[in-house]
Amino acid sequence: MKRKLDARILIGTYGVVLALALLIAFGWWRYENFLGLFNVMSVLRYNSMFALVALGMCFVIMTGGIDLSVGSTAALGSVAAALASPYGILPGAAAGIGVGAVVGALNGLLVTRLNIMPFIATLATMLAASGSALLLANNQSVSVSYESGFTSLGQGNLWVLPIPALIAAGAYIIGSIVLNYTSAGRTILAIGGNEEASRLMGLRTDAIKFFTYLASGGLAGLAGVILAAQFGAGQPIEGVGWELFAIAAVVVGGTLLTGGVGSVGTTLAGVLLLGILFNVLNFENGMGWISLSAYWQSVIRGAFLLVVVIIQARLMTSRRAAL
C-alpha cells in the first residue's frame, strides 16, 4: 500500500515533466518548424514573464499562502519601468522591481503582522495595485524610451538566447538554491507543513513568510519590467489572469495548495507545459483544423487547474488513509 502511494505521489510531482516531453514530441511530429529556432526562442521570450510570476507564487504557496496581486503588480511595474526608462536600463528596471517589492512588502506585513488571511490581504493589494497603475499611467499605455536601450531587456538577445529567458533562468537557479540548500528553504516547507509546530520549534516563521511575499512582489515587478521592454510600453490594464496562470503552473508542477510540498524545477516545467500547449493551439489554428480564440486560453487554464487540484485532493486523501 505504501509503495503504491509513493508511486502516486511521485507521478503527481514529476508527471508534469513527462507530460511536457510528450507534448514537445507531439508538436515536433505534427508541425513543421515547431522546434525551429524562431518558434523555440519566441516561446521562451514570451513565457519568461509568466515564469517569474510563477516562481514567486511557488514560494508563497509552499508556505500555505496565496498571492492574488501578482498580475496587477506586474502591470504596475510595467508602468513604473516605462516612466523611468528614459533614464536608462538600470533605473527603469529598478523602478519596476521597486514598486513590486513595495506591494510584496505590504502583503507580507498584512499577513504576518495583522494576521489577515492571505486571500483577503492580496485581494486588497491586487485592487490597489491595479488602481495605482491606472492612475500612474493616466489610464493609457506609457511608451518606453527606445534611445536609452531599455527595450533590450525584453527584445534583446545574448547570442541567440533571449535576454528575458536568461533573466528567468537566473531567477530559477537562485530560487532552487534557496529552496534546496538553505535554512530559509527548509523553513518555507516547514511552515507549509505545520506553521504552529514550526513556530514552537523556534523557526522564524513570520520573517520567512514576509520574505516570500516580498520576493513574489519583486519578481512580479521584474515581470512587469520585461513586459514594458518587450512590447515597448507600460500596460496598466495588462496582467489580468496572470495570477491564475501562475497558480495553475505551480499546482500542475506538483506544489500542494495546502503548502509543505513543492519544487522550483517542476514549477518551471508547469510554466513551459502551459506555454507550449497554447503554442500548439496556435499552430492548429494556422493549419485550419480548429479555430480557437485567445479567450480559450482562460478556459484551458481553468480546466488544467481543476484537474490537477482534483488529483492532488485524491493524493492527499490516500496519504491520510495510509497514515
What rounded mean pLDDT belongs to the chain? 89
pLDDT of 217 = 97
DSSP 3-state assignment of 234? strand
In tens, the pLDDT along 262-312 reads: 899 999 999 999 999 888 888 887 776 666 666 776 777 677 777 777 776
Window from 93-102, 213-222, 287-296 with minimum mean pLDDT: 287-296
Question: Cell triple for residue 20?
Answer: 511536457
Structural domain tally of the chain?
A: 1
Which pLDDT band holds residue 35 (cuts at 50, 70, 90)? Answer: very high
Could you identify the residue written with the cell 492548429? 284
Q: By C-alpha distance, which of 218, 244, 317, 193 is closest to 66?
A: 244
| E strand intervals along the chain | 142-143, 157-158, 161-162, 233-234
pLDDT of 318 = 59
Residues 92-99, mean pLDDT to the nearest whole number: 97
Burial 254-288 (b: 16+ CB within 10 A, else e): bbbbebbbbbbbbbbbbbbbbbbbbbbbebeeeee
Give the C-alpha separation, 48 to 167, whole Å.
8
Residues 193-197, mean pLDDT to the nearest whole number: 90
Could you identify the residue written with the cell 499562502? 65
Q: Percent of the chain scored above 70 by pLDDT?
A: 88
Is the separation of the CB atoms in 163 and 153 below 8 Å? yes
Give the C-alpha separation, 178 to 244, whole Å.
25
Indicate the burial class of 295 (C-beta count within 10 angstroms; 0-12, 13-18, 19 or more).
Answer: exposed
* 5 pLDDT higher than 50: no
Indicate the Cα dihedral angle 257, 187, 179, 60, nearest 10°.
40
Give the C-alpha separation, 7 to 59, whole Å.
25
Looking at residue 141, the DSSP 8-state letter turns out to be: -
| Contacts (Cβ under 8 Å, ≥6 apart) of 77 | 95, 96, 97, 99, 100, 220, 221, 222, 223, 224, 225, 227, 228
Could you identify the residue written with the cell 491606472? 134
List beta partners, residue 158. Answer: 161
What CATH number did the domain enclosing 144 receive? 1.10.3470
**CA dist 38 → 34, 174, 321 (Å):** 9, 28, 49
* Predicted structure pTM score: 0.92
**Is the model more confident about 257 or about 61?**
61
Is the separation of the CB atoms in 78 and 97 below 8 Å? no
Which pLDDT band holds residue 241 (cuts at 50, 70, 90)? Answer: confident
**Is the model more confident about 63 or about 257?**
63
Window from 165-174, 180-189, 253-262, 297-306 with minimum mean pLDDT: 297-306
- Domain range for residue 214? 2-322
The count of other CB atoms within 10 Å of the CB of residue 115 is 9
pLDDT of 99 = 97
Give the C-alpha separation, 78 to 115, whole Å.
30
Sign of the Cα torsion 129, 56, 301, 317 reads negative
Is the separation of the CB atoms in 261 and 189 below 8 Å? yes
Residue 179 dihedral angles phi and psi, to the nearest 5°? -70, -40
